[in-house]
Amino acid sequence: MLNKIAIFILLFSLTLTISNTDVVRAQTLSNQNQNTVFEYTPNYNNLYNFLKITEKDYTHSLKEGKSMAEIAESQGVSKQSLINFLRNEMTTQLDKQLNEGKLNKESYTQIKNNLNRAIEDDINYKTQKLNEKPSE
């Protein structure tokens, strides 16, 4: 059992795609074998309302290379409040997936225990500015 739990180390993977008109974010928590365990779909309307920002301004800020934490700070929202908000949003979806049988109890517990780390990674992630070339 301990080996199974040790192997079930969660990794946070974040895929972020930005176009000129929208931001699409797909977030998953995966196990060590890169098998998706939990898919989280952000409710951006709730996020925009929480941050007191328009979709256009949020998208523009991301395109300028700001992290979600920096956007929150510029809107007068503390980092801890943002973490709490996202934890609640993710927990709601976790609970739903557990109740629908998409997650077993062991996976649910492991994911829930790693939410803070995943959220920290997410809110501090910065995209490359649209006009910036990748560093080599």
What percent of the chain has pLDDT above 70? 67
Question: At a CB cut-off of 8 Å and minimum separation 6, what does 136 contact?
Answer: none
Question: At a CB cut-off of 8 Å and minimum separation 6, what does 54 contact?
Answer: 48
Q: Mind listing the pLDDT tens digit for each residue in 32-41?
A: 555 657 777 7
Q: Are 98 and 90 in contact (CB under 8 A)?
A: no
Q: Mind listing the pLDDT tens digit for each residue in 48-96?
A: 999 999 999 999 999 999 999 999 999 999 999 999 999 999 999 999 9
For residue 105, the model assigns a pLDDT of 87
pTM over 0.75: no
SS3 assignment, position 17: strand
- Angle between helical axes of 115-124 and 79-99 (0-180°, round to 10): 130
For residue 102, the model assigns a pLDDT of 86
For residue 12, the model assigns a pLDDT of 33
Q: Are 87 and 116 in contact (CB under 8 A)?
A: yes
What percent of the chain has pLDDT above 90? 44
Q: Are 27 and 42 in contact (CB under 8 A)?
A: yes
